[in-house]
Structure 1
Amino acid sequence: MTITRLTLKNFRNYAQLRLEATSGFIVLSGENGAGKTNILEAVSLLSPGRGLRRAGLTDIASETGAGDFAVAAEMGDVSLGTGTSVDQPERRKSRVNGAAVPTNDLAQWLSILWLTPAMDRLFMEGATGRRNFLDRLVTALEPDHAHNSGRYDAARRERNRLLADDSTPDPGWLDGLDGQLIQHGAAIAKARFRAVDALNNLLAASDDGLFASARIALDDQELRDEGSLRQAIASSRSADRAAGRTLRGPHRADMRVYHRAKDQPAEKCSTGEQKALLFSIILAHADLIADQRGNRPILLLDEVAAHLDPQRRAALFAKLAAKGGQVWLTGTEPELFKDIPEDALHFRVNQGTLDLR
């Protein structure tokens, strides 16, 4: 999984950009606000979901453009593209080799993982962020997870609309929607548990000398198959009707992370330990993708080097170099990347322009 050319149009502070890339390290250095993270965000949008910033589509389009934006990538003889049009700026469209596809289908071609400074709050905030994080990991392993999630969410929105209506909903209509929730919800739960079980096996065997090893657990252990989900939805229909929304299901699940050596919840760990736990999960997950899909994922690491001491930073770069794959890194100071391989591409970013160092 290597992007060989990235092209942007009307994307954030880039009116036009064409970046030629290779496998290995791609470093983007420059002052804060220069546009480094914008490039990582563009790459992240070549996967299902809202990208690493989870921004609205109209917020992404350049203020100097016509209201649309486009991101395109070449990977050998495969081309991927996503973006909006002037007449439909709030609707994202995607293409593979020029043919229109659902955006969720991008996961069939690329696995992309990222770490950003905003993710430092992952363990301290609500379950939604952790659930989104987990679902990105699952989709990178099993691309069909994005399809099941989309179908589940569509059925739940329609069910919630019926439940919130003042008139009594048609039981047959609710039964049909419940069937969709059960079918796609069970697929979601099973995929999550498969990913967590596989990750925990890798994390348990990993060397925690570089980063603290994590252990992951999921809530709602009882809702991991069709039978248990069917029973939960049927038994809560009256409560759902009173609340005007669906109260049980995988959309309420939470991911818990523990410091394995200390057997301590991540939210009670220090800030440095929380960051280390995130690193250990991402690195283990990259290995899992390589094992199960045959290619290493693309890693987007935003401002991670500045938060590591020199020894740990050098060890991380050495580990990433040994594993292979394409790694995009950002940082304010070029000196932060002195330990990366000499064949790395290093660009200086300056307000919508890139210069190869």
Structure 2
Amino acid sequence: MQLRKIRIRNFRNFADMTIEPFPTPAVVVGENGVGKSNLLHALRLVLDPDLSDRRRQLQPDDIHDGSAPLAEGTEVSVEVELSDFDTDPDAQSELDGAIVATGPLVARLTYLFRPRKSLGVVLGTAPARKLTPDDYNWTIFGANDPSNAMLSAKRYAALSVLPALRNAEDDLGRADRSPLTRLLRELPPAEDNVDRALAQMQAARDELSRDPNVRAVRRMLRERVKTMAGPQLDLVMSLAFAGRSEDLLRTVRLFVDPFGTRGVERTSTGAANVIYLALLLERLRLRRQAGDGEDTLLAVEEPEAHLHPSLQRHVFAHLLGEPNRLVLTTHSPHIAAVTPISSMVLLAESAGNTRARIVPPGLLTPEQTADLQRYLNVTRAEILFARYVILVEGAAENYLVPALAAAAGFDLDGHGVVVAGVDGTDFAPYAQLLGPNALDRPFVVLTDGDIATSDTAKRDRTKGVIVSAAEPGLWRAQGLLQIQDAEAYEYFADRLQGMAELELPDSGTRLGRDDLVVEASNAGVYVGRHTLEVDIAPLLADEMVTAFNELA
């Protein structure tokens, strides 16, 4: 089973947000405060069997700022759709009342929080009095009927959230919280081995109970209680050692050396978190293979906590390369760099509301996807967390653009601007990724003019047609306009074809070129005259000579 869609209305950051299709696995990225944790909490409202009913009863600050406040009557809903259970009869039976589509099967579960019907509140009109949380109730229903309560469905299609501020060492050291204990319950030792171990432990316990000091402790405790409470508290106490099979499993501890001397608390926090996550994933794998149902979706907040960058890349490249029901929220470009393009979910704020963007299936060609996956390294992965992006060709621009911005008194980092080099001139995959049909992030392109006089033709990869070799920078701009601005593209294409056929005059500028450069810049594509180094020489000639002499 997998999560295929989520829609959140009027909850915290989200006025009305839909993610469809919801990727599996999913990596949710975005700036601080944009709602990554709130997205997971919204999922918990529907799917987490361990979330208490009290926490499902929302409060005024849970309502989106742009909707009617709780006091005036509002409605919050979180709708999820589940699929991939066509061959699972247990899931079909459990979700029978929630199925909304067949071939393949799709089930819909919705958390709904609204005023009690007895109050007669009509949404959109002012109630007779200000409402309080006690005037609301919540339900989880199947399909499209709010009266079709399905509160138990969350125990089958369950969500388990591993919070960011977890204490893996403490949890591993406590049997009631340790995923090791739960894993051993899923895969318990053979009954004969358990019985034999318990018999040996019983003999050892009997021997210890006869020890003079143990008997002295028992006697002292009896006398102290009798003195304190008198005869009205008539207790007959004894000391013994637990001896059930469950107790035996709870005593198994995890060590990080082959001799059983160093407990998990003796390793690093990062290593403890990796061990903790591995135990959880193994238990979930066994539960999914069991015949009695339960198909848990695991969500992990900020898994990069306490992990060295190279370890982040290795661990999550492995996890995200496997087919699993995993949701991660992260600020780490190291994790983003190894995330498949199809798994990315970008949350971004717009006019006081958070919206979600994914890369729709089929938008990128296999070649573009491979290019992005290959070159979206740690540095370039920062574009997923940026407010604005400047795409440039390579190393020279990567150094010069930030330096020019600083000299002009503009703090790129302070404004969330990232300069990303594509190591070449093929901007099209990045423009598709950041463009309006995918992640929809503000970006501009800075590219060389590369004026050429050769009559030889070449194929324009962004259009798939033969174009002139003259003015390659403007031909690149045309391909990008086709992605970003259809209206500007038509105007640009008509004029560029004729202009590029002109001979290059002595002045070095073809008639009409400057107008096309301005037109491209209006669409966020800035085309130089030659190359950046040549174009910038008249502006910084003295500084460049000084720098060269110092370095030489």
TM range (shorter): 0.5 to 0.7
Partner of 1:343, secondary structure, is: helix
In structure 1, what is the equivalent of residue 111 of structure 2? 82
C-alpha distance in structure 2 between counterparts of 1:18 and 1:256, whole Å: 46
User: Could you tell me which of 65, 70, 73 is aligned with 2:80?
Assistant: 73
Q: Please say which of residues 67-76 and 4-13 is displaced more in the overlay.
A: 67-76
Q: Give the alignment partner of residue 272 of structure 1, picking from 266, 270, 273.
A: 270
The match for 2:151 is 103
Amino acid at match of 1:62: I
- Check conservation: 2:164, 2:300, Cα contact below 8 A: no
Using a 3 Å threshold, how does the CA distance of structure 1 residues 93 and 337 change in structure 2: closer, same or farther?
same
Query: Which of 94, 98, 113 is the matching residue for 2:160?
Result: 113
In 2, distance between residues paired with 1:308 and 1:336? 11
Report deviation, 1:35. 0.5
Task: Give 5+ residue unaligned stretches, structure 1.
Answer: 138-191, 202-241, 243-252
Closer, same or farther: CA 342–9 of 1 in aligned 2, 3 Å: closer
Equivalent of 1:198, from 186, 190, 193? Answer: 186
1:13 Cα deviation after fit: 1.7
1:70 touches 1:84 (CA, 8 Å); kept in 2? yes
Contact between 2:313 and 2:335, CA under 8 Å: does it hold in 1? no
Q: For 1:183-209, what per-residue CA distance to the aligned partner results, in whole angstroms no more than 9, with x for missing partners? A: xxxxxxxxx9886332577xxxxxxxx
Letter in 2 for 1:112: L
Secondary structure, counterpart of 2:340 in structure 1:
coil
1:161 aligns with none
The code of the aligned residue for 1:105 comes to: A
Scaled by the length of structure 2, the TM-score of the pair is: 0.39
| Amino acid aligned to 1:24 | T
Q: Take 2:263 and 2:40, find their aligned partners in 1: how far apart are those partners?
A: 30
> Shift in Å at residue 314 of structure 1?
2.9
| Distance in 2 of aligned mates of 1:126 and 1:100 | 42
- Let me know the Cα RMSD of the aligned residues: 3.8
Paired residues of 1:113 and 1:299 also in contact (CA < 8 A): yes
Q: Assess, with a 3 A threshold, how the Cα gap between structure 1 residues 267 and 85 changes in structure 2: closer, same or farther.
A: farther
Classify 1:56/1:348 alpha carbon distance in 2 versus 1 (closer, same or farther; 3 Å). Answer: closer
8 Å CA contact 1:5, 1:73 repeated in 2 = yes
Cα pair 2:57 2:138 within 8 Å, conserved: yes
- CA distance in structure 2 between the partners assigned to 1:354 and 1:200 by the alignment: 43
SS in 1 for 2:280: helix
Alignment of 1:320-331 (within 5 A): 320-331=319-330
Q: Offset at 1:38?
A: 0.7
- Is the contact made by 1:14 and 1:352 (CA closer than 8 Å) also made in structure 2? yes
Could you tell me which residue of structure 1 aligns to residue 33 of structure 2?
33
Note closer, same or farther for the CA distance 1:107–1:122 as it changes in structure 2 (3 Å cut).
farther
Write the letter of the residue equivalent to 1:15: A
**8 Å CA contact retained: 1:297, 1:325:** no
Residues 192-232 of structure 1: CA distance to partner in whole angstroms, max 9, x if unpaired? 9886332577xxxxxxxxxxxxxxxxxxxxxxxxxxxxxxx
Cα-to-partner distance string for 1:36-79 (whole Å, 9 max, x where unaligned): 1111111223232327xx94632473153443422110124200
Q: In structure 1, what is the Cα distance between the partners aligned to 2:79 and 2:135?
A: 17
Identify if the C-alpha distance between structure 1 residues 103 and 296 changes in structure 2 by more than 3 Å, giving closer, same or farther. closer
**Structure 2 unaligned spans of 5+:** 84-105, 117-133, 190-232, 234-246, 359-438, 440-552
1:94 CA displacement: 0.9
| Residues 1-357 of structure 1 mapped to structure 2, 5 A cutoff | 1-45=1-45, 46-50=47-51, 55=55, 57-59=57-59, 61-62=62-63, 64=65, 65-67=68-70, 68-76=75-83, 77-87=106-116, 91-97=137-143, 98=145, 100-101=148-149, 103-108=151-156, 110-120=157-167, 123=170, 131=176, 196-198=184-186, 258-262=253-257, 263=260, 264-266=262-264, 269-292=267-290, 297-350=296-349, 352-356=354-358, 357=439
SS of the equivalent of 2:148 reads strand
CA distance in 2, matches of 1:257, 1:272: 22
Alignment-mate amino acid for residue 166 of structure 2: M
Please say which structure displays the higher CA radius of gyration: 2
Task: Tell me by how many angstroms 1:19 deviates.
Answer: 1.2
Report the AA paired with residue 310 of structure 1.
Answer: P
Tell which deviates more after alignment, 263-272 or 313-322: 263-272
Whether the aligned pair in 1 keeps the contact of 2:26 and 2:327 (CA below 8 Å) is: yes
Higher relative contact order (CA 8 A, sep 6+): 1
State the distance in 2 between where 1:126 and 1:261 align: 13
Q: 1:335 to 1:11 in 2, by over 3 A?
A: same
Q: Quote the residue 1:217 is aligned against.
A: none
Give runs of ≥4 in structure 1 deviating > 6 Å: 124-127, 253-257
In structure 2, the CA distance between the partners of 1:339 and 1:292, relative to structure 1 (3 Å rule), is same
Cα deviation digits, residues 333-356 of structure 1 (max 9, x gap) = 445311122322331433522233
- The answer to whether the 8 Å contact 1:72/1:79 transfers is yes
Tell me: CA distance 1:125–1:348, structure 2 relative to 1, closer, same or farther (3 Å).
same
Q: TM-score, normalised by structure 1?
A: 0.57
Separation in 2, partners of 1:194, 1:50: 19
Tell me, yes or no, if the aligned pair for 1:306 and 1:331 is still in contact at 8 Å: no
User: Residue 34 of structure 2: SS of its match in structure 1?
Assistant: coil
**Secondary structure, counterpart of 1:353 in structure 2:** strand
CA contact (8 A) 2:309 2:334 kept: no
Contact 1:23 1:326 in 2 (8 A): no
